[in-house]
Structure 1
Amino acid sequence: MTGPLGGRVALVTGGAGSVGERIVRGLAEAGATVLINCFHSYDAGRRLADDLVSAGHHAEVMRASVAKPAQVERMVAEVDRTHGSLDILVNNAAAGTFASWDELTEEHLDQAFATNVKGALWCARAARPLLARGTDPCIVNVSSIGASHAPANYLPVGIAKAALESLTRYLAAEFAEDGIRVNTASAALLDNEVGRRFPGADSVRANTVAATPAGRLGDPDDLADVVLLLASPGSRFVTGQTLLADGGLSLMRHAMAPTPSTPSTTASSTLHGDERHPVRHSRPTSTDPATDGESPSRVTTPDPVGSDHTTASVPTTDRPSLPTDPDPVVVVGMGLAVPGASDPDGFWRLLERGGEQFVEVPPDRWPAHAFHDDDPDAPDKTYQSRSGFITDFTPHPRLEPDFAADPTAKWLRHSAIQALEHVTTRPGDRFSVCVGYTPDGSPHLQEALVRGELEALADPEHAAEVAAFADRVLPGSRTGHLPLSHRIGQDALRGLVPDDARLVMVDTACSSSLYAIDLGIRDLVAGRADVAVCGGAFALAPPGSVLFAKVRGLSRTGAVRALDRDADGVLFSDGAGVVVAKRLSRALADGDAILGVLAGSGLSADGRGKAIYAPSSGGQSLAISRALARTGIGPADVDWVIAHATGTPAGDEAEFTALRDAYSSGTVQVTSNKSLIGHTGWAAGVVSVIQALLALRHGRIPAQHRFTAVPERFGIEGTGLTVPTESVPWPARADRPRTVAVSGFGFGGTNAHLLVQEYRPGRANRSGYGTRAARPAVVVGWSTHLADGGTFGDAYPHPPFHLLRMPAAAVRATDRTQLAILECVDRLPAEVRAVCEAHHARVGVVVGHTGPTRSASLYGLRAYLDALDEAADTESVKVLLKRARHHATGLIGAPTEDSFPGGMPNVIAARPCNRFDLRGLNVAVDGGDESLSQAFATARRYLEFGDVDLVLVAGVHGNTLPSWRALTDSATPPTEGAALFAVATGDLAEATGLPVLAELTEESP
């Protein structure tokens, strides 16, 4: 062991990362035996050690998390056992979060301090006896320039590093009596993969190079050389010091002004101007400043200035430094049908003049009295018979008179015809069709499910009689049409788009159409589509009203009063809406009318909270912050928020809290169209987007209908938020484009916040999508939970409490698909689950599931039984209905507050988020037999744009009831169960040491 450090033993924490590897190699080449500490990057550490040993050096790997004192103690005990002493300790492991001041949480601080400060202290304290036996013993802590300066979005890491430098001085004083030197090596932004993940990395790099006399960034070798210098005998008279290698950046020799094109809201991690007055920009351009006002989230990102991680680092997708885009996505067409309006112009007139749209159930929809009871506890009944029905529908002239499919398909087709009517398309255009839709909410589907169960229970000799009865009482079931989700989409768009158009039916409950728009934008930006047709559709059906009544969420007074002190609940409504989008360059070339710019959206999941149907202001705040960060739009640049605001007191308060926290710095109008037209469910988001586009056209923000005053608990006093009681002029302004935000959220914690701006020719336009990443998506783990014999039987075996942490009553009301996916998550390899837990703010879930759940089908049958009994006119039918009642009530209990979310297909994806506190996003897609394939494709779209770093992709099926077999014409129904795949970015897999089992290519499912 020759060299200046021959015979020495060195322990390097975080030794497998970019800087850590350089330190390890330098020490080994200087003759030291190097102990490489790593945790998630253990495999990378093994490869490094093998490489060094093969080159004739001495290296070993020791796996331990420095953030856990017990693991540190075990690691140091192993060093004592195998080597007896230690000469050099390098505390290089680090953790941290990019977070602006407003987004900072206590957990961000705790996470950074646990590794950067406490980890270094625990390692130093545990190693002290071994160092005292060593030769010229020393400790080198690795810091960054953020300890002494104030880069934007760097506060958690920066103050932890400052504490580490202070700790260095205390340790130097304390350990001096043992002859142990303690110093700090520090650097500015490094030119390495970690440094390139810093928000606005390109702009930061350019500004830093321009301000550094050395004329370049430092690299990992520069920092490693400082560590080696402090560890060498040549520094034996230096202790308690911090040695900064920044190329002269801190001299402030050159002005560090941002480039002229950099907007003032762009995040930067360098200083601008005099170091005593650093500029702090309002928003980071990183994709995920994880923050939650109710339940703090943990997102670990690499420390971009200086050292590397051993605790699970989250590689973030590089973002362009400027959120402006010469070719953003724009809206070129729109169409809708809602209560009181059959087109956008009619909708605008309705918004301006108002009018009562809440009515009793029309006689041609269903017999309201058979489903109604004033007692909210009455089984299988709703306490409200008023809703928003489309009763005066005027079909588009091109809508075929004989298009007698499910009403949702009819309204969706009508809206798509309107939206495409004046849009130029070309032969060979690639279309992306994304539609928000619930797999189990259409009236024809509900009636078809009930019919399927009755026919399965009927005696063969009475089959014709039962069929005639069903034709009369369940008219929606006799059309011969199969009203499953993906078929609704196919029928609605057939002939309007090419047969090979990509079609995805998106289910995130009431935010579905906003997620659909977001997916369409991604296909345009990624170059997969030339035209995107995006929207949603929803129709009222009795079972939905019954189940939602058990949540006590329906208005008792029969009217929605969103944002109002007298709000007492929501009323759902029929509705459909479609927008057509293109890239700006294509729209201009085609001569299309440009209605507005889709600047970008923020998506999030609520993670762990209260009941899975309880709204979370923290989850919504996260979606808002992601939207602003992604687009670079500042809160003060937003003029108006079209809130989701459904009129439920708890929901409105949670949303207003999030809006107040985000937008109080400006003057912002807040409204909700649900007081006028009701809650159009899976179409609600696109209806609000169309309202925003209409207001941009007319230069006015419509007043809030049915409004007197906000509740005191909203805390509106002292903020710039206003709920307008009269129409507000909204003229174009010279300094910036008019901007409106559209919010949406749904059961299961599916939050979306979309920013829409006016188009201003010749001006820079916002686009928060940039370009997609070229990094591969890889499968890093999988699990299954399949039923023996094809079905779990009449009663799904209840999982143990530790898996669910749900009351027994809630478990009984939860569909087997939701329980099966939790079983799959629990069966994932331990290392995959550990990464999910460590990075939960950037983990998403996408589920492929087709059709209604078993629970929803059975609750629907229960809801219809009284209406069927009333209509029964033969003895054989009455006997059949008694059998059906025994069948239904024997398989599922009366609905409770847990039943609606417990049977919703989109909540399948929400269960892992709620159970494991995942904050990325959660989505369900329905593509029929191709549902799992579509789930993989959808997950890729989120991974490639950097929204998440890991997605749990699942295919789930749990319905083998006769009604399902009748709908699918399947003699052998699919096996019940779930298959789950963990799909990560290649960067995350490499950084965390997860095994790569397969790579997803563009053609992969």
Structure 2
Amino acid sequence: MTAVAVVGMGVALPGASTPDELWDLLRSGRSVLSAADADPAGLAGLHDPDRAVADRSYNRVYGPLADLRPHPRLRAERDAGDAPPGLTTYWLRHCLLQALDTTTVADRDRCAFAIGYGVSGSINAEQAFLVEAVAQGVGAYDPDAGQIPDLVRRALAGTYPFAGPEPHVFLPHEVGRRAAAGLLPPRTEIVTIDTACSASLYTVQAAISALSTGTADVVFCGGACNVTPSEYVMLSQVGLVSADDQLRSFDVAGTGSLWSEGAAVVALKTLDRAVADGDEVLGVIAGLGTSSDGRGREVLAPDSRGQALAIRRSLESAGVTAAGVDWILAHAIGVPAGDAVEFAALREAADSATDCLVTVNKPQFGHTSWASGLLSLVHVLLALRNETVPAQRRFTRTPESYRQEATRLRIPVTDAPWPRTADRPRIAGVNSFGFGGTNVHAVVTDTPRVGGFARRSGTGEIAVVGWGTHLPGAPTATEVMDQLRGAEWHVPPGFGESYPLPDPVQLRMPPIAARNLDRTQLMLIQSMLQLAGEHGEVWAPFTDTTGVFVGHHGVPGAFGPVVLRINRDLIAGALAGVTDATAAPAVDRFLKSLQALAPDPDETVGGLLPNFIASRATKRFDLRGMAMVVDQGIDSALGAVHLAMRALHTRELDMALVSGVNGNSGSELRAILGAPFRSPAVDPAEGAFTLALTRPDTAAEHRLPILARLRAGQDPHDGPATVRCGPSAGRSYLGGDGALAILRAVATGGTVRVEPYDPAIQPAGILVRA
């Protein structure tokens, strides 16, 4: 067994540019949430206090990160004009520099940088997409557009100042690359994980898997989040935003959440390595558990059973009982229904004989979404150092329905001492639960005597026991394999403007709900249904330990129309500045098309966020292992395969369903993707590809035929033949290219090496033995 040590940490939060300042903020009780005139995110432009007004947020209270004092090296880069573009990139680099200040990294070390992040949490990416969507949209109404798109871009620059001249630099894999540039060794694995609100703590799972399998020596885990006006509108539309200027967690007076900007990074090593290097051990990750909610309730409604399952798994992996936990730093974002579900999960998982403190930090600095889990982990590490549990702020009492008096869960309203003792370790739990039911719980302690993770080799083979696809034209599995063996790929590039909805009986969803989802969610289910039709539901024996890993890159197709509709008044005001007579007819036609976009009462944020692609599959097939969306650019599905294989090697999972999917082939997406899409020779294509993976011994035990064997590696001499992940025959499935490359290797037969498209982000390939 090996313990995992935290040896470095960094934060960026309103009012706190260092961990010590974060501690001061926690002890002060001060809130960073406000509706001040300083409104860098521009929420005021989409605000209306009347909750009945469509496409407006009824609240503009949030926590803007406008007062960051950058790390000295980052400040020097900024002063020299060399700082990375993009707010979240800048914040992550600041945090990474802080974490590196106390972390020893040798030249020989294999490093990884896992970031909890989503394209929806970047104001730079949203505005870049908006500007390109409008420029392309106006240009489409004039076949001789000429300079019209450039005129439109210039007109929008004042309204959308964060768009920038090179929009591709704001995509998640580029954010990670640029945050780490020159700080981490060459060929550092950089991967973005999106599970919405639990994403940054999910990176700790990825780190533990990499350390436990020996595929990395040092792993940096990060998370970052912007507040974007369009997302605030969507969150208001489904009633998740607070009705006043307060966020009250687990409180009878709570009315909803308030969001904030922030970032965090922690550095992880095995404890043995940390001690050998002389690094200060800030805390020990003794256990970690993940889960999905499975079938249960609607995708936006959390399920206490799924959350309690993650807590139990974490305690089991740490080798402790609930009675040994002193304190749980909860996730509760202030939404009454969600907070009630989490308290029920705590009640179910808690010990009935010993007191346990429960607190939440969000009433002070808001919900930082993708960054929130790591900020909570840093919160606990600071409490260990300072021997104090900060009080729950702005708390009156829990609702009667919580039945708190029947538990030993206590919410302190004053700071509680938490001193070191010689006779027992101090143990805390950290909750982080994401929209869509993606749950993670970490057990953190001050001693290596608790818990630990089994060391296993990350070089063993993993079996492919099934595969399925969903492509335009609905080719069968046999037709797909025949085409992969041949020289021509005859599949149409896209599904067209209107995606053909699946059979609602197979989908287990009414058509009115399905039509509001981004098509990628439906495409993934369709590919899994084809897999089941060809190979059976190979996951059926272990639904509790089957995970879903989805490679996805870019912006969901459903995101564009909604964001354009929300912003149409701002767009119209900006385009009034286009005075060129030749452009006026095209501008007018485009604005009329925006006015025709009607709000849909059934539309929900769950239909638009990329992380819901994986969650939709866990809901449909009642799966309760981990679920995540992975973004490594064109190598996204290849990265998902690596993460899945490690989770299988560590036996956190028995089955992994790994998919690559793209459902957006619009011209505005191409405009923000950068290379290789700057050349007209490569176009985005739509499709979904799913592989069912398990360990060979598990396949043998359950009599599952092995179709191929996969092994991770970096040896360029493995295999006589190679297939490169990336565009082929003038098209790219973006996040799906890696899964298609593995299927192409299976079709080729023999031993084939699948090479990554971008070895600077994903250094390791996959050896396929069919």
Smaller-chain TM-score bracket: 0.7 to 0.9
Q: How is 1:550-569 mapped onto 2 (pairs within 5 angstroms)?
A: 550-569=237-256
Post-superposition CA distance 1:120-148 (Å, at most 9, x none): xxxxxxxxxxxxxxxxxxxxxxxxxxxxx
Aligned with 1:759 (options 421, 425, 447): 447
Question: What is the rounded CA distance, in whole Å, between the counterparts of 1:498 and 1:404 in structure 2?
Answer: 18
Instruction: Please say if 1:524 is aligned against 2:199.
Output: no
Match of 2:383 among 669, 674, 695: 695
Please state if 1:983 is matched with 2:693.
yes
Q: Are 1:391 and 2:30 matched, yes or no? A: no
| 1:370 to 2:370 alignment | no
CA contact (8 A) 2:122 2:228 kept: yes
Evaluate the alpha carbon distance shift between residue 983 and residue 896 of structure 1 in structure 2; reply closer, same or farther with a 3 A threshold: farther
Unpaired segments ≥5 residues, structure 1: 1-324
Other-structure match for 1:472: 158
Match 1:338 to one of 1, 9, 13: 13
2:560 alignment partner in structure 1: 857
Partner AA of 1:786 in structure 2: L
1:437/1:367 CA distance change after superposition, 3 Å: closer
Map Cα deviations across residues 88-138 of structure 1 (whole Å, 9 max, x no partner): xxxxxxxxxxxxxxxxxxxxxxxxxxxxxxxxxxxxxxxxxxxxxxxxxxx
**AA at the equivalent of 1:489:** G
Q: How far did 1:381 drift?
A: 1.5
Secondary structure, in 3 states, of the residue corresponding to 1:387? coil
Please report how far the alpha carbon of residue 512 of structure 1 lies from its aligned counterpart in structure 2 after TM superposition. 0.4
| Cα distance in 2 for residues equivalent to 1:362 and 1:965 | 36
> Hey, what's the Cα distance between the residues in 2 that align with 1:806 and 1:829?
18
CA pair 936-841 structure 1, distance change in 2 beyond 3 A = same
- Higher alpha-carbon deviation: 486-495 or 795-804: 795-804
Choose the corresponding residue for 1:454, options 134, 147, 162.
134
Aligned position for 1:780: 465
Aligned residues: 676
User: Compared with structure 1, are the counterparts of its residues 719 and 768 closer, same or farther at alpha carbon in structure 2 (3 Å cutoff)?
Assistant: farther
**Are the aligned partners of 2:135 and 2:150 in contact in 1 as well (CA < 8 Å)?**
no
| Corresponding position: 1:492 with 2:492 | no
Partner of 1:902: 607
Question: Structure 1 residue 993 and structure 2 residue 698: aligned?
Answer: no
CA 734–816 in structure 1, closer or farther in 2 if over 3 Å, else same: same
Report the residue type matching 1:333 in the other structure: G
Map 1:338-357 to 2 at 5 A.
338-357=13-32
- 1:366, CA displacement in angstroms? 4.4
Partner residue of 1:425? 105
Change (3 A) 1:624 1:878: farther
Q: Secondary structure at the match of 2:72?
A: coil
Matched, 1:797 2:508: no
CA, structure 1 residues 379+523, in 2 after alignment: closer, same or farther (shift >3 Å)?
same
Shift of 1:499: 2.2
Kindly provide the amino acid, as one letter, of the partner of residue 714 in structure 1. Y
Matches within 5 A, 1:689-768: 689-759=377-447, 764-768=449-453
Q: Shift of residue 809 of structure 1?
A: 2.6
The 3 A distance-change label for structure 1 pair 896 and 332 is: farther
Residue 388 of structure 1: CA displacement? 1.4
Q: How far 1:973 moved relative to its partner?
A: 2.3
- CA shift for structure 1 position 772: 5.1
Asked if structure 1 preserves the Cα contact closer than 8 Å seen for 2:173 and 2:632, the reply is yes
Amino acid at match of 2:470: H
Residue 755 of structure 1 deviates from its aligned partner by 0.6
The separation in 1 between residues aligned to 2:604 and 2:588, in whole angstroms, is 23
Structure 2 counterpart of 1:753, which letter? H
Contact 1:786 1:975 in 2 (8 A): no
The residue number in structure 2 matching 1:914 is 619
Instruction: Give the direction of change, closer, same or farther, for the CA distance of 1:770–1:669 in structure 2 (3 Å limit).
Output: farther
Matched, 1:658 2:334: no
* Cα deviation code 1:767-792 (max 9, x no counterpart): 14443587631111111111253111
Deviations, residues 175-209 of structure 1 (Å, cap 9, x unaligned): xxxxxxxxxxxxxxxxxxxxxxxxxxxxxxxxxxx
For 1:774 and 1:445, how far apart are their aligned partners in 2? 37
Change in CA separation of 1:851 and 1:719 when aligned onto 2, cut-off 3 Å: same
Partner of 1:950: 655
- Spell out the pairing of 1:587-602 with structure 2 (5 A cutoff): 587-602=274-289
Partner Cα distance (1:571, 1:769) in 2: 40
Look up the match of 1:572.
259
Q: Within 5 Å, which residues of 2 pair with 1:178-577? A: 325=1, 327-360=2-35, 363=38, 365-399=40-74, 400-401=77-78, 402=81, 403=83, 405-456=85-136, 457-458=138-139, 459-482=145-168, 483-577=170-264
Instruction: Mark the structure with the bigger radius of gyration.
Output: 1
CA distance in 2, matches of 1:810, 1:768: 42
Conserved in 2, the CA contact under 8 Å of 1:547 and 1:896? no
SS state of the match for residue 766, structure 1?
coil
SS of equivalent residue, structure 1 residue 398: helix
RMSD: 1.9
Gaps of 5+ in 2: 140-144, 474-491, 714-764
Residues 670 and 684 in structure 2, CA contact (< 8 A), matched pair in contact too: no
Residues 757 and 884 of structure 1, relative CA distance in 2, 3 Å threshold: farther
Give the partner amino acid of 2:124: H
The 5 Å alignment of 1:30-109 reads: none
Q: Percent identity?
A: 39
Question: 1:357 & 1:567 partners in 2: Cα distance?
Answer: 18
8 Å contact kept, 1:842–1:918: yes
SS for the counterpart of 1:511 is: helix
**CA 1:614–1:906 in 2, change beyond 3 Å: closer, same or farther?**
same
How far the C-alpha of 1:985 sits from its partner, in A, is 1.7
Q: In 2, distance between residues paired with 1:741 and 1:882?
A: 56
Find out whether 1:683 has 2:368 as its counterpart. Answer: no
Q: Deviations over 1:47-75 (max 9, x none)?
A: xxxxxxxxxxxxxxxxxxxxxxxxxxxxx
**Contact between 2:46 and 2:233, CA under 8 Å: does it hold in 1?**
yes
Distance 1:880 1:851 in 2: 27
Contact 1:832–1:982 (CA under 8 A) maintained in structure 2: no
TM-score, normalization by structure 2: 0.85
The two structures have a TM-score, normalised by structure 1, of 0.65
Give the conservation status (yes or no) of the 8 Å contact 2:459–2:712: no
Amino acid of the structure 1 residue aligned with 2:304 = S
Change (3 A) 1:806 1:884: farther
Cα 1:722/1:885, change in 2 over 3 Å: farther
Separation in 1, partners of 2:9, 2:425: 21
Q: 1:804 to 1:451 in 2, by over 3 A?
A: same
In structure 1, distance between residues paired with 2:600 and 2:9: 39
1:637 pairs with 2:324: yes
2:569 maps to a residue whose letter is: D
Question: Equivalents in 2 of 1:862, 1:766: separation in Å?
Answer: 51
Amino acid at match of 1:408: T
Tell me how far apart the structure 2 counterparts of residues 868 and 357 of structure 1 sit (CA, whole Å).
31
CA distance in 1, matches of 2:174, 2:36: 27
C-alpha distance in 2 between matches for 1:907 and 1:844:
14
2:476 pairs with 1:771: no
Once the 2 structures are TM-superposed, how far is the Cα of residue 808 of structure 1 from its aligned partner? 2.6
Describe the SS at the equivalent of 1:928: coil
The alpha carbon displacement at 1:591 in A equals: 1.3
Q: Could you tell me how far apart the structure 2 residues matched to 1:464 and 1:538 are? A: 30
Q: CA deviation at 1:479?
A: 4.0
What amino acid sits opposite 1:354 in the alignment? G
Equivalent-residue separation in structure 2 for 1:354 and 1:895 (angstroms): 40
CA distance in 2 between counterparts of 1:738 and 1:726 reads 19
Deviates more, 1:739-748 or 1:419-428: 419-428
How far is the alpha carbon of 1:476 from its aligned partner? 1.3
Indicate if the aligned counterparts of 1:436 and 1:515 stay in contact, CA closer than 8 A.
yes
- 1:883, CA displacement in angstroms? 3.5
